[in-house]
Amino acid sequence: MRIALVQQKAGNDKQENVGRGLSALEEAATGGAGLICFAELAFERFYPQYPAEGDVSQKAEPVPGPVTEQFAAKARELGVVVVLNLFEREGNLCYDCSPVIDADGSLLGKTRMIHITDYDFFHEKGYYTPGDSGVPVYTTKVGNIGVAICYDRHYPEYMRALALRGAELVVVPQAGTVDEWPEGLYEAEMQVAAFQNGYFVALCNRVGREEGLEFAGESFVCDPDGRVIGRAARGQEEILYAEVDLEEVGKSYARQLFLPDRRPELYAGWLG
């Protein structure tokens, strides 16, 4: 199976950004991708670089809503699975949300980021409510897909839960900046998660300069043995394609050895 990660900039015009995303979706499908993924808040400026002021829910939209409906229609037309990321509003609450759309255009569900951070240029606690959707894994046309939204990927418990729920590929929509951490650390973190849990990881990052931040790009895919099998360029828009064979999941060290040899009855008292 071929997957595609859309690494694109976000300008000030959300509708233009959505239009560019739909065009990229078509291009990726024409390029043979069966699963197409987008970065965190792919179609709007990165609001949390500023502390929240006033009613931030006016920047959010419902899911399903205008953007998901447009991508669902295009997914159905093209016969592809799509993983988005949006600023979602439900009632009086807002979430960092990744809708997952199957190849028939149906909305299978939505993953909400459950760990929320707050530090310079990432003032997310003023925007996002901690997610309440658990750790879902979606049965799609192309396989069992999990999602770890940006900050959630730092939690080994979350990444392990995706494996225990049957994920074969984990999509990571990210907003990672240039020189945010020592070079290669984030990539190594996802390589270890893939190896320890026996699934593919596809991290799709933002790119471009936005006021106080410069997003790095460098989206990548690693296999269940922890090898990087595809990497996008730093600082430029592109569609990264990667070939993944989900049969490798069952043959991985994690699925043959690590997971069967777990002793969860002993861990309960150690983990808070």
Does the structure show a pLDDT above 90 at 266?
A: no
- Taking the domains of the chain in order of start, what are their residue ranges? 2-262
Average pLDDT, rounded, for the chain: 96
Q: What digits encode the pLDDT tens for the residues 91-132?
A: 999 999 999 999 999 999 999 999 999 999 999 999 999 999
Does the structure show a pLDDT above 70 at 262?
A: yes
> Minimal CA–CA distance to 29: which of 79, 65, 63?
79
pLDDT of residue 85: 98
pLDDT of residue 261: 97
- Count of other CB atoms within 10 angstroms of residue 152: 23
pLDDT of residue 271: 67
Q: What digits encode the pLDDT tens for the residues 189-234?
A: 999 999 999 999 999 999 999 988 999 999 999 999 999 999 999 9
Which superfamily does CATH assign the domain made up of 2-262 to?
Answer: Carbon-nitrogen hydrolase (3.60.110.10)
Collect all residues with Cβ–Cβ distance below 8 Å to 48 and sequence separation of at least 6.
121, 122, 123, 124, 126, 127, 128
pLDDT of residue 117: 96
- Report the SS3 class of residue 169: strand
Share of the chain above pLDDT 70, in %: 99
pLDDT of residue 47: 92
